[in-house]
Amino acid sequence: MPQTGKPEPLPPGSTIGILGGGQLGRMLALAAARLGLKTHVYSDESESCAFYVASETTRASFRDPKELAKFARRCDAVTFEFENVPDETVRELMQHVPVAPGPEPLRIAQDRFLEKSFLQQKGLLTAPFHNVASESQAREAFTALAGPAVLKTRRLGYDGKGQRIVKTAEDAARAFAELGGVPSILEGFVEFAFETSVIAARGQDGAFAAYDPALNEHEHHILRRSTVPSGLPEKKVQEAFAMARRIAEALNYIGVLGVELFVTKDLRLLVNEIAPRVHNSGHWTLEGCAVSQFEQHIRAVAGWPLGDPARHSNAVMRNIIGAEVEDWKQLAGRAGLHLYGKRVARPGRKMGHVTTISPGE
């Protein structure tokens, strides 16, 4: 083996471990299989739809060192499909097997205050924010922001969970108590024209690739639809790519990264959140590109060259949420349909998605 200091690419037949068993892990496993790679999904949940398509599975706690060591011995590399994997789990696994993206992106993305602070340190715009650790701090933070705001727990929470809109200082204090008095962050409202996201990838060799930004529409804090092209001017598209690259390089990132952005009416780009994983707003790449975000992530984790992220078609991706999946007979006639195989259709739960493509620009 050449003494380059860099790991050799994993050959076909190698096994990539995936922490988490949801739909993102499922689609990662399918992408790996297309490249001749095996997958071993590790999940602590009783129902994991990724189990149905993986080569091997383990159901155990993310904090069980014996099970993690057994899992690591069965894998040639490990990644994760959601950002609430304990960073201690990743550090434990790294004693036995390479893990990408690694613990530092997880540590930052898991804490909204650390995340916003990191972004500002890198010269990127965000909503104004204040740390909140008490009801009195909640009142003080609201006064400092001087307007409507959103109180969010620093850790956990997605699709609108762990958040409260507040319009007065007393609202902020009350919301802090209602959220359990846990460490939180108060963010000022951003007057934006629309929301977009960049799905980008960085390889083990430092190569960078980014997909066209999508126009994202939400319902009840859940992504409903992503459309490409987004309508963002080309100059701003390139600016968004540069922002994603700055984040990826600062984190020495390996894999696919989602960067959610607010676009203001005067076309300023503000970072809302970063996601150290494949992202819901990138599902359109399965039909709209020769190399999807899922294949791109597997390529990066395996040490393969990144694929071409170019879009060959316009696309509209629509999530299938909750009981909507019960209309599967009608949906079955659609091309671009992905059903995740989840057994229970709870309100607000993403059960699948469907992507419609049309000739590209």
Residues 132 and 161 in one domain: yes
In this prediction, residue 158 has a pLDDT band, given cuts at 50, 70 and 90, of low
**Distance from C-alpha of 19 to C-alpha of 218, rounded to nearest angstrom:** 27
Residues 158 and 239 in one domain: no
Q: Identify which of 181, 267, 229, 223 has the alpha carbon closest to the alpha carbon of residue 23.
A: 223
- 59-68 CB contacts, 8 Å cutoff, 24+ apart: 62/19, 62/86, 62/89, 63/88, 63/89, 65/92, 67/42, 68/42, 68/92, 68/93
pLDDT value, residue 18:
98
pLDDT value, residue 116:
96
Q: Retrieve residue 314's tokens.
A: 């316009």
Q: Report whether 36 contacts 94 (CB < 8 A).
A: no
Task: Specify if 223 maps to a domain.
Answer: yes
Summarize pLDDT for 49-72 with one digit per residue, the tens. Answer: 999 999 999 999 999 999 999 999
Average pLDDT over every residue of 208-234:
96
Task: Specify if 123 maps to a domain.
Answer: no
- What is the overall mean pLDDT for the chain? 94
Task: Specify if 200 maps to a domain.
Answer: yes
Which of 188, 208, 236 finishes a domain?
A: 188
Residues 266 and 298 in one domain: yes
Task: Specify if 7 maps to a domain.
Answer: no
**Looking at residue 298, which CATH number applies to its domain?**
3.30.470.20
Summarize pLDDT for 2-54 with one digit per residue, the tens. Answer: 334 567 999 999 999 999 999 999 999 999 999 999 999 999 998 899 999 99
Residue 108 DSSP SS3: helix
**Distance from C-alpha of 48 to C-alpha of 341, rounded to nearest angstrom:** 9
Average pLDDT over every residue of 69-86:
95
Query: Residue 345 pLDDT > 80, yes or no?
Result: yes
pLDDT value, residue 267:
96
Which of 99, 119, 142 finishes a domain?
A: 99
Alpha helices in 41-149 (DSSP H): 65-73, 87-93, 103-109, 112-121, 135-145
In this prediction, residue 361 has a pLDDT band, given cuts at 50, 70 and 90, of low
Residues 216 and 177 in one domain: no
Average pLDDT over every residue of 85-98:
93
Task: Specify if 72 maps to a domain.
Answer: yes
Average pLDDT over every residue of 188-202:
95
Residues 161 and 256 in one domain: no
Residues 75 and 206 in one domain: no
Query: Residue 115 pLDDT > 50, yes or no?
Result: yes
pLDDT value, residue 221:
87
For 85, which DSSP code?
S
Residues 220 and 174 in one domain: no
Task: Specify if 171 maps to a domain.
Answer: yes
Residue with tokens 């909140």: 132
**Distance from C-alpha of 243 to C-alpha of 155, rounded to nearest angstrom:** 24
Average pLDDT over every residue of 181-197:
94
Average pLDDT over every residue of 114-128:
96
Which of 188, 214, 231 finishes a domain?
A: 188
pLDDT value, residue 6:
66
**Distance from C-alpha of 283 to C-alpha of 137, rounded to nearest angstrom:** 39
Query: Residue 337 pLDDT > 60, yes or no?
Result: yes
Number of folded domains in the chain? Answer: 3
Task: Specify if 252 maps to a domain.
Answer: yes
**Looking at residue 35, which CATH number applies to its domain?**
3.40.50.20
State the residue range of the domain holding 149: 128-188
Residues 294 and 339 in one domain: yes
Residues 350 and 268 in one domain: yes
Query: Residue 251 pLDDT > 60, yes or no?
Result: yes
Q: Identify which of 165, 167, 184 has the alpha carbon closest to the alpha carbon of residue 176.
A: 184
In this prediction, residue 360 has a pLDDT band, given cuts at 50, 70 and 90, of confident
Contacts of residue 287, Cβ cutoff 8 Å, sequence gap at least 6: 313, 315, 335, 336, 355, 357
Residues 270 and 292 in one domain: yes
Residues 198 and 347 in one domain: yes
